[in-house]
Chain A
Amino acid sequence: DAKTTQPTSMDCAEGRAANLPCNHSTISGNEYVYWYRQIHSQGPQYIIHGLKNNETNEMASLIITEDRKSSTLILPHATLRDTAVYYCIVRVNRGSTLGRLYFGRGTQLTVWP
Chain B
Amino acid sequence: EAGVAQSPRYKIIEKRQSVAFWCNPISGHATLYWYQQILGQGPKLLIQFQNNGVVDDSQLPKDRFSAERLKGVDSTLKIQPAKLEDSAVYLCASSLGLRETGELFFGEGSRLTVL
Contact = CB atoms under 8 A, between A and B. Distances in A.
Contacts of B45: 100-101
B56 A96 contact: yes
B56 A44 contact: no
B48 interface: yes
Contact of B93 (A42, A43, A49, A105): A43
A100 B31 CA distance: 11
Nearest to B31: A99
Contacts of A1: 44
A112 interface: no
B40 to A, nearest CB: 7
Given A46-B104, A46-B105, A103-B43, A97 B56 contact: yes
Interface of A is mostly: loop
| Residues of A in contact with B, size category | 20 to 34
Interface in A86-110: 87, 91, 93, 96-101, 103-106
A98 B44 CA distance: 15
B42 A87 contact: yes
Contact of A44 (B48, B55, B101, B106): B106
A44 to B, nearest CB: 5
B91 A103 contact: no
A105 B40 CA distance: 7
Nearest to B101: A32
A2 interface: yes
Contacts of B95: 99
26 contacts: A1-B44, A32-B101, A36-B104, A43-B91, A43-B93, A43-B107, A43-B108, A44-B43, A44-B91, A44-B93, A45-B106, A49-B103, A87-B42, A91-B101, A96-B56, A97-B56, A99-B48, A99-B56, A99-B98, A99-B99, A100-B48, A101-B45, A101-B104, A103-B35, A104-B42, A105-B42
Given A41-B108, A106-B42, 5 more contacts: A96-B58, A98-B98, A98-B99, A99-B48, A100-B56
